[in-house]
Amino acid sequence: MHKRIFYPVVMIILISLLAGLLGGCSQPPAADPLSVRVESIEGSVSVLSVSGETRKLSNQDSLQPGDKVTTEDYASCRIVYENGTETTLGSGTSVIVNQADSSGVRLNVTMGKVWIKVKHLIIGEETFETETRQVNAAVRGTLFYVDAGSGESTYIALLDGILAAGGSEAELPNTAAEAGAETAWLEPFQQLEVSGTENKNIESLKSGLNVNELLESADRPLLQQMLLDLQERIGEGISADQRLSDLAKQLEEALKDLASEARGLLDYVLTDKDIYSVSMKGGYLDEKSGILYRSIQSEFPKEITFFTNAGEVKWSSAVLQAKPVIFRIHDPKLINKDEIGILDQLTELGLSIYPKVAGWKPLNASGEVADGYSEYIPINGASGLPIEELMRRNGQQPADYEFVDIQG
């Protein structure tokens, strides 16, 4: 990973659809509006309209010029334009749709990470221009990735198509031969990293694509969309570049690794295999939020008593649960006991205010620790990821489960 020096930067992404500009007309025809909609929403995604109203977005919601779309942590969505171009937003990303018509689309990326698929148009020539305080870039029929961070730097990775880049005052080249010191001509599998506001020699900032850096930078939803778009290009014969096939295989392996890691943590909550012959699994602790997730895997008890720092919290359900139940226990220092006779205890490690290990003492009919079990049996998984993200990495949908909040 390259070490970057950060300075303020604002990213503006411009899609220009150049059709009929050389027809001899003294004035260009009036631009027709393009429909813009949001798809593939995961997590919390909101829009701030030009009127100042903020609302949550749902799939197929339309966007209007001036709308600002924001994804929260571990959230994502796709912005789909009528012309076939798509922009996938990663976690913690904000973009403003400044313009969307047949003369161009202007997308202001104020922070975060986006994956962009620009499709060729039958009606004319399509150009996608990216402008920052350090560099302007124009692309055609391209697949590329942009990491604007917190708005302080720009990283561009080009996978297919062409990209011309230059300083804010430079005239962008139309061919590789026209590129000079203040401009650069990127070809597939090249990248550009720009920091600061006084970069004059853009060409020197160009380098070959560091695939590991790209895979480390991109969020899981971006990696998934990246793979789908690469497979589309390869399957349709749009590009014969063997490097696309090789990268697709690397993306598949990276996503498999994420799924395997998530599955290992989810086994503490969702596995059907009952290792300790009891109905309630040990759970998964989201260290960032301090929420402990647990679920019932066998016959559902009539009532469960949760012993928390705030006292006993009883939970019971009068109706048959249509979905598997996952408890969100908002008390990181939890002692749990249910009717089946399982005593659960969380322990603290060192000076940490949140326990890193959960365990239980299976009790026999006399209330003693059952034979074959130690004082504490570590069965809890912990990381800084919310369980919803773990599910998605493992190909599961949070909507397939019933989440019940237990307030300690």
Whether 43 contacts 75, CB under 8 Å: yes
Report the alpha-carbon distance of residue 407 to residue 342 in Å, rounded: 20
pLDDT for position 89: 97
pLDDT for position 90: 97
Report the alpha-carbon distance of residue 95 to residue 90 in Å, rounded: 11
Partners of 360 in the beta sheet? Answer: 344
For all residues of the chain together, what is the average pLDDT? 74
Question: What H or E segment, with its residue span, contains residue 306?
Answer: strand 303-308
- Amino acid identity at 325: V
Counting residues of the chain whose pLDDT is more than 70, the rounded percentage is 65
Digit-coded pLDDT (tens) for 235-250: 877 666 899 999 999 9
Residue 149 confidence (pLDDT) above 90:
no
Cα 180 to chain centroid, rounded: 36
Report the alpha-carbon distance of residue 95 to residue 14 in Å, rounded: 12
pLDDT for position 281: 52
**Residue 33: DSSP 8-state:** B
Q: pTM of the entire structure? A: 0.79
Q: What is the mean pLDDT of residues 277-306?
A: 65
On the CB side of 46, CA atoms within 13 Å amount to 11
Digit-coded pLDDT (tens) for 241-274: 899 999 999 999 999 999 999 988 887 777 544 4
CB atoms within 10 A of CB 14: 19
- Amino acid identity at 408: G
On the CB side of 358, CA atoms within 13 Å amount to 29
For CA atoms 150, 156, 160, 163, the dihedral sign is: positive
Report the alpha-carbon distance of residue 267 to residue 217 in Å, rounded: 27
CA-wise closest residue to 342 among 294, 271, 280, 404? 280
String of b and e for 253-265 (b: at least 16 CB within 10 Å)?
ebbeebbeebbeb
SS3 405: strand
pLDDT band at 76, cuts 50/70/90?
A: very high
Digit-coded pLDDT (tens) for 2-35: 444 333 333 333 333 333 323 344 455 677 888 9
Digit-coded pLDDT (tens) for 292-339: 787 765 555 566 666 555 556 777 766 666 777 888 877 645 443 332
Residue 350 confidence (pLDDT) above 60:
no
Report the alpha-carbon distance of residue 150 to residue 76 in Å, rounded: 16
pLDDT band at 122, cuts 50/70/90?
A: very low
Counting residues of the chain whose pLDDT is more than 90, the rounded percentage is 35
CB atoms within 10 A of CB 378: 13
pLDDT for position 14: 39
Whether 401 contacts 321, CB under 8 Å: no
pLDDT for position 368: 61
pLDDT for position 262: 92
Digit-coded pLDDT (tens) for 81-103: 988 889 999 999 999 998 888 77
Angle at 43 between CA 40 and CA 46, to 5 degrees: 85
